[in-house]
Amino acid sequence: MNILGIETSCDETSAAVVKDGCQILSNVISSQIKFHQKFGGVVPEIASRKHLENICWVIEDALRKANVGLNKIDAIGVTAGPGLIGALLVGLSIAKSLAYAQRIPLIACHHLEGHMHAITAQGIKAPYPAAALIVSGGHTSLYLLKRQAKYELLGQTRDDAAGEAFDKVAKMLHLGYQGGPVIDELAASGNPKAILFPRSYLEKGSLDFSFSGLKTAVWYYIKKQNIDFDKDFKHIKDIAASFQQAVVDVLVNKAIMAAKANKVTNILMAGGVACNSQLREQMQQTAQKEHIKLYYPDPILCTDNAAMIASCAYYAYLRGDRAYWSQNAYSNRPLEE
C-alpha cells in the first residue's frame, strides 16, 4: 500500500511516498532556512508563501523519485497541526484536492504523532509501551505510548521549547539561525563544565520542562562578560557547550524519570533536537545504565519530514481513520487517545 505524505507545518515543504508504513520510496524536503536566517527565526508569512511556491514541484519530485504515479497512491496523509496555520493550510489544501481528484482517502495527521512514527517509517518496529520524548523547536513533551494510537501526556514545556532555547541562545552569541546545529558543532570543542548554568527540574516528581530561566541566565552571563564576538572564540564555545549540557541534563533526567515512573523499559526520542549529538550520546549511556532500550530515527527523519507523516497515516488508515473534506488546520491541539 502506497501512502503519499505531505508536511508543511513550519518551514520545510516535504512530500514522501512510503510503502506499507515502513519502506520509504522517496522523501523530498525543501528547506526555507536561508529565507528566514536574516530575521533570526521563522516568519509565518514568508513560510506560507514559500510553501505555495514549492509544494507542487516537491510532490512531483517525490512521486518521480518513488517511481510511482498518482494512480498508484492508495491514500494521502497530511499534517493538519499543530503548526503555523498559513503553512498548514497550503499542505492541507493540496492534499484535499489530490485526494478528491483521485477519489482516495484523506488522512489528517497530528504532527507529534508523526514524529513518533519516524522510526516506523525506516522499518523499525515501534516499542510499546514506551516513554516518548518529542523535542524540537516548537515542542518539548513527554508521552507514555501505551500501544498504537494510545498516548498519555506526562509532561510538557511551560515556556520555551528546547529547540527554541537553542535558537535564542545562538542569536545571543551572534551565531545565526538555526541555533541547534551550530551550537552542537561549537560545543564539541568547548568545555561543558566551564560555566554552571541552572537546570530547572521544577517541583519534585514533575515531568514538565522549563528553559526560559536557562535562556535568561545565558543572556545575563553574556552581558556581564562583555564578549568580543569576533575574537573570543574559545569563550563562545565554552558558553555553547555549557548551555547545551544544561539542556541535555534536564532532557535526559526527565525522560529516564518518565520511563521509571511508568515502569517501562523503552524510550523513544524524536524531533529536531533529537539530532543533537550530546543528547544522543548521554541518553544512550544513561539508558544503558538503567537497562532501558533507546530508540531514535536517523537524523533526516528527526526534523520535519513527510515520510513520518506517511507512516503515521498508514497506521491511521488501518484503524479506519478518515478525514472529512471540511477538515481544517489547527495551530495547537493536544495529542489525544
pLDDT at position 337 = 54
pLDDT at position 110 = 96
Q: How confident is the model at residue 123 (pLDDT cuts 50, 70, 90)?
A: very high
Q: What is the mean pLDDT of residues 146-156?
A: 91
pLDDT at 302 exceeding the cut of 80? yes
Q: What is the mean pLDDT of residues 286-301?
A: 96
Q: What is the mean pLDDT of residues 96-115?
A: 97
C-alpha span between 266 and 290 (Å, rounded): 11
pLDDT at position 9 = 96
Q: What is the mean pLDDT of residues 287-313?
A: 96
Provide Rg for the chain, Cα atoms: 20
Q: What domains sit in the chain, N to C, each tagged with a CATH number? A: 2-119+301-319 (3.30.420.40), 127-296 (3.30.420.40)
In tens, the pLDDT along 231-279 reads: 888 999 999 999 999 999 999 999 999 999 999 999 999 999 999 999 9
More confidently predicted of 100 and 41: 100
pLDDT at position 166 = 95
As a whole-number percent, the residues of the chain with pLDDT over 70 amount to 99
Q: How confident is the model at residue 229 (pLDDT cuts 50, 70, 90)?
A: confident
As a whole-number percent, the residues of the chain with pLDDT over 90 amount to 88
In this prediction the pTM is: 0.94
Q: CA–CA distance from 131 to each of 184, 255, 287 (Å)?
A: 25, 7, 12
Q: CA–CA distance from 56 to each of 30, 114, 140, 291 (Å)?
A: 11, 22, 31, 46
Q: Beta-carbon neighbour count of residue 205 at 10 Å?
A: 8
- Classify 332 as helix, strand or coil: coil
C-alpha span between 133 and 110 (Å, rounded): 16
pLDDT at position 279 = 97
- Of 94, 5, 84, the closest CA to residue 48 belongs to 84
In tens, the pLDDT along 172-197 reads: 999 988 889 999 999 999 999 999 99
Q: How confident is the model at residue 126 (pLDDT cuts 50, 70, 90)?
A: confident
pLDDT at position 226 = 84
In tens, the pLDDT along 30-55 reads: 998 888 888 888 899 999 999 999 99
pLDDT at 164 exceeding the cut of 60? yes
pLDDT at 303 exceeding the cut of 90? yes
What are the helix and strand counts (H, E) for the chain? 12, 10
